[in-house]
Each structure stands twice: as C-alpha cells, then as structure tokens.
Amino acid sequence: MSTTTAGAIFVLSLIAALAVAYRYLGDYMFRVVDGERHSRVERGVYRVLGVDPGAEQSWGVYARSVLAFSLISILGLFAFLRLQDLIFKVPDFATPINERVFPHLAWNTAVSFVTNTNWQAYSGEAAMTHFVQMAGLAVQNFVSAAVGIAVAVALVRGFARRKSEQLGNFWVDLTRITLRILLPLAVVAAVVLVAGGVVQNLTDGTTLSTLTGAQQHITGGPVASQEAIKELGTNGGGFYNVNSAHPFENPTAWTDWLEVFLLLVIPFSLPRVFGRMVKDNRQGYAILAVMGIIAVASIVLTNVFELGHAGTVPQALGAALEGKDVRFGVSNSATFAAATTLTSTGAVNSFHDSYTALGGMMPIVNMMLGEVAPGGVGSGLYGMLVIAVITVFVAGLMVGRTPEYIGKKIGAREIKFASMYFLITPALVLIGVAAAMATGNWQTQANVGPHGFSEVVYAFTSAANNNGSAFAGITVNTPWWDTALGLAMLLGRFLPLIFVLGLAGSLARQKAVPASAGTLPTHRPLFVGMVVGVVVILVALTFLPALALGPLAEGL
C-alpha cells in the first residue's frame, strides 16, 4: 500500500468516525448542558462551593466567575509546582526544585495549563513529579477544557434566549461538563490507550542495560490517564518531552489514529449542540460545514507539501522524514500536525521545526485562522460563531439591511464585541514578535534568516492562540520568553473570553426578530462559502506580511 493511499484511508476513516460521533455525542452533550436535574455528586460539589444551582448569572457575573476560578487555579498550580519536592516525591529527582522549575518557568507553566495552552518550556519526565502531573497538570486539563465549553454554551444561550439577562450558571456548567462529559470519555479513552500499550503506573522507573552495556533509566508514570484528557480536552501537554512522538504515549499507528480522533471529536460535535439549543439543526450543519471545509483543505495541503518533500536534502533522500517517526510516516504525521493546530491541542507526533518550509507554514496558518476548524473544545465553536456574526454584518452592509443572525440583530454593540474578539489575538502575536525581534531575544534560537523568523512567529502565534505547539528550534526557558509568552497566553485566553460573554449578554437581551424576505439564510451553501471567505481574507490581510518574511520567503 502506498503512503498516499494509507494516508487517505487514515483521513477518510477519521471523517467517518467523526460523522457518527457528531450526532450521538452532540445530542448527549446537549442533554447535559440543557438539563435541569442535578446528580447527588453534583449537589455535593455545589454545597462545597456554596453555589445555588438554581440561580443563573448575567454575563458580567458569569465572566467574573470564570476569571476568579482561573486566577485561583493559576495561583494554586504555581504553588504546587514550586512545592512539589515536598509532596509525594516520585520520582525522587537528584536536582532540587529550584534547579528544575524556576519561578519564571512555574509562572509560565501555571498560566499555560490554566489557559488550555499547555505550552511546555520543560521536559516533563525530568522536571515534574508524578503527583504534580496527576493532581496539578491533568486536573487543569479537565477544568480548562470545561471552561471553554461552558463559555461556548453561554454564547449559544445568548442566541437562544429572548429578553433575558441570564446566561446560565458557570459553576453548574463547569461541574456538569467535567463530571458528565470529560471524565467519562477520558476514562474510556485511557483504558483503550492502556490496551494499546500506553504506560500507566506510579513507579519511580526502571533502569536497564543497553546493547552497548550502558545503564539507562526508563521513566514510567500515570501516562495514559493524562494522555486521554490531553487529547480529548484539546490541551496538548505531554507527559514526556517529545509528547505524542514518545512510544510510551503513542505506541502504534492505531493509537495515533485514536489520539487524532480524540482531539477532534468534541470540537466537531459541538455544532450539533448549537443547532439543538437554537432549535434549528440546519444552523449546526452550516457551522460544521465551514469547519469541515477549512479542516480538509488544511490537511490536504499539509500532506501535499510534506509528501512533495521540497528542498535539496529531502529531494536527495526521496522523503522529508527528518523529525518524523517511521511508526507513523510522513502522511500520518502531517495529518496529526494539521489536526493539532486546527484545534488548540498543540500535541505533536513529529518535529514541526523539521517540516519543509511550506509544510511548516500550514500549522502556523491553522493557528492564525483562530483555530476555528474545529478549534479547541468550546473555543472553536464560539470563535466560529463570532466569525459568523462578522459575516452577516458584512453581508448586511453589502445589501443595505440591518444584519441578523439566528433571529438577533447585529448592531453596533454586537459588532464591537465581535471585532474586539477578532483583533486581540493578531495584536498579541504581532506585538510579541516585534518585541522579540527589537529586544534581541530572538537570538536565543539556533536558526537565523527566514526560518529563524518563522520560529519566533510560531511561538507567539501558538501562545496567543492557546495552542502550545512549537517549532522548538528556539530556547524559551528564559525569564524574558517565559514572561512574554505567559502574558500572551493569559491575554489571548481571557480577553477574547470576556468579549464573547459580553456578546452573549447583548444578544440575550434582545427579542426575536422574525425572518423576512431580506433576511440572509444562514443555513445554505452561500452563507457557508461567505464564512469561509471571511476567515481566509481576514487572516490573509492580517498576517500575510509576517508569512512573507518567514515561511514563504524560505519556501520560495
């Protein structure tokens, strides 16, 4: 079987599995977030938190709840990282915590995991104890993903409700999503991964003799449990330094397929929740179509560029295999790279820095699109809905009518929230890149020229879009880089989130606008094409100069 054929089967089987999950998982998630009954465990959580599950919140209270929870999470995780040598010290590292996790690295890591970025400027097996991996990092993998879904659900409620100030209760949404959606799916996924050969233990590791007679220490740990939620919650933080390229995290081609499926399944199923909540499944299918068109185009282009292996050395060798594992090959590695950057996952099964110039450009472009195809859990849906709002506004200007979407008028207040959402991330990326180049901090990288510039662009694009992957040819564990990227992650997560909730509150207060002959149908192919066009055009206008100086210059 040829590489191209195997890669096509890999992708087509993913599409088929996601198509099945769209309806069944989407309907299940709809029942979770739209239901009114609380389980005994959930009621116990509410009592501990002091929350009245029957009381709903305005968008301002909902936003403050999200920010308060996230602030406490950052402070708690920071303390956990700095004190880990005092708590269940397995493995027992020879080097003290002050030489493994500096304060600036602890800040960066705490912000990274709370913002669902999981950028890692450290080597997991050499820096973190098992307990911190389980009770600190993996816990944030659950709750940061739940925050994203909760905010997306709040925005959908804004479309669905009429003349209301209420968007639901953040604490109820957070608890239900964690306990009823993420936890059960992660348990099942972890069991399957263990069956596939992923490590799951609490040992200090094993020392073995190599073929040359040397001694090598093989680190074990609770890998499968973290790997499951890492992909399912589009988090991306690996237990090991090489992430999903490590055979203990991703042993075989079929576990590789499973991990790609896990990182796509919830984001691609959430449009079904949107359609059910606004009582028009056609709207969900339209959003799904936009996501699917962009995703397929990206996966195909990434495969074409990598299988074409442009460049002197790849052409001489007949393939661009540097940085890729032969277990997965070129095509499956390219598909994984596209999927992990189309979502906010950031997990990697190959070394993106070794990709061809144009092949390496595609992960950057995927993140620059705003990770909306399908994006992170929750963040992809609310990002796509914001783009849809911008699209109907542009369409309304073209025909001279007040734009409407899902029965709501898109006026000055709504478009301000949508515009601020769209502009904040590109601003963070471009300002961050300019600061790195102007202050000379780009000199911490191994490469110069267009590829070196691409590494800097990739780093800030990944951080501001809460992705977490990297070109990795750059030394980022320094006070400047840890601080700068931490700020990009923090602002890139919570400023857009506030604008989304503000938009939701503005929409919820409106009454329904009946459709008329001049209303743009938002469930037809014309609208789907317009949304795709808006995504591509806005990104091209914003980032083309940066791409021209980096990957395009290198590739052309």
The domains of the chain are located at: 376-555
pLDDT bin (cut points 50, 70, 90) of residue 296 is very high
pLDDT on residue 209: 87
Spatial contact of 266 and 177, defined as CB atoms under 8 Å apart:
no
Confidence (pTM): 0.96
Share of the chain above pLDDT 90, in %: 76
Contacts of 239 (CB under 8 A, 6+ apart): 124, 125, 133, 221, 222, 223, 226, 227, 246, 248, 249
Which amino acid is present at 362?
Answer: M
pLDDT on residue 462: 96
Residue 208 has φ and ψ, to the nearest 5°, of -125, 160
pLDDT bin (cut points 50, 70, 90) of residue 515 is confident
pLDDT on residue 94: 78
The Cα-based distances of 371 to 5, 242, 293, 374, 377 in angstroms read 27, 23, 13, 7, 10
- 280: three-class secondary structure by DSSP: coil
Residues 465 and 262: their CA atoms lie apart, in Å, by: 20
Which of 304, 322, 319, 369 lies closest to 342 in space, CA to CA? 369
Residues 375 and 370: their CA atoms lie apart, in Å, by: 8
pLDDT on residue 518: 75
Spatial contact of 259 and 186, defined as CB atoms under 8 Å apart:
no
- 206: three-class secondary structure by DSSP: strand
Q: Which of 50-64, 263-277, 538-552 has the lowest mean pLDDT?
A: 538-552
pLDDT bin (cut points 50, 70, 90) of residue 446 is low
pLDDT on residue 299: 97
Render pLDDT for 182-222 as a digit per residue (tens, 0 to 9): 999 999 999 999 999 999 999 888 888 888 888 888 888 99
DSSP notation for 376-398: STTHHHHHHHHHHHHHHHHHHHH
Average pLDDT, the chain: 93
pLDDT bin (cut points 50, 70, 90) of residue 283 is very high
Give the distance from CA 472 to its chain's centroid. 18
Mean pLDDT of 26-41: 95
Mean pLDDT of 445-455: 82
pLDDT on residue 341: 96
pLDDT on residue 312: 75
Comparison of pLDDT for 137 and 442, the residue scoring more: 137
Mean pLDDT of 117-125: 91
Element at 404 (helix H, strand E):
strand 404-405
pLDDT on residue 264: 97
pLDDT on residue 90: 87
Residues 222 and 269: their CA atoms lie apart, in Å, by: 28
Spatial contact of 38 and 281, defined as CB atoms under 8 Å apart:
no
Mean pLDDT of 446-450: 77
pLDDT on residue 445: 66
pLDDT on residue 369: 92
CA-CA-CA-CA dihedral for 325, 326, 327, 330, to nearest 10: 80
Residue 206 has φ and ψ, to the nearest 5°, of -130, 135
Spatial contact of 82 and 101, defined as CB atoms under 8 Å apart:
yes
Contacts of 7 (CB under 8 A, 6+ apart): 303, 307, 329, 330, 331, 332, 334, 335
Residues 358 and 486: their CA atoms lie apart, in Å, by: 28
pLDDT on residue 1: 62
Q: Give per-residue burial for 182-214: e unless 16+ CB within 10 Å, then b.
A: beebbeebbebbbebebbbeeeeeeeeeeeeee
pLDDT on residue 311: 80
Place of tokens 């080597």: 123
Mean pLDDT of 454-464: 94
Element at 220 (helix H, strand E):
none
Which residues are bridge partners to 449 per DSSP?
none
Kindly tell me if the per-residue pLDDT of 417 is higher than 70.
yes
Mean pLDDT of 400-427: 92
Dihedral sign computed on CA atoms, order 537, 459, 144, 23: positive
Element at 205 (helix H, strand E):
none
Element at 425 (helix H, strand E):
helix 412-439
Residue 310 exposure: Cα atoms within 13 Å on the Cβ side: 14
Render pLDDT for 67-120 as a digit per residue (tens, 0 to 9): 999 999 999 999 999 999 888 888 888 788 888 999 999 999 999 999 999 999
pLDDT on residue 389: 96
Element at 128 (helix H, strand E):
none
Q: Which of 226-235, 439-448, 478-487, 536-545 has the lowest mean pLDDT?
A: 439-448
pLDDT bin (cut points 50, 70, 90) of residue 316 is confident
Kindly tell me if the per-residue pLDDT of 313 is higher than 80.
no
Q: Could you tell me the two tokens for 487? A: 């700020």
Residues 455 and 551: their CA atoms lie apart, in Å, by: 9
Residues 36 and 58: their CA atoms lie apart, in Å, by: 18
Residues 145 and 40: their CA atoms lie apart, in Å, by: 23
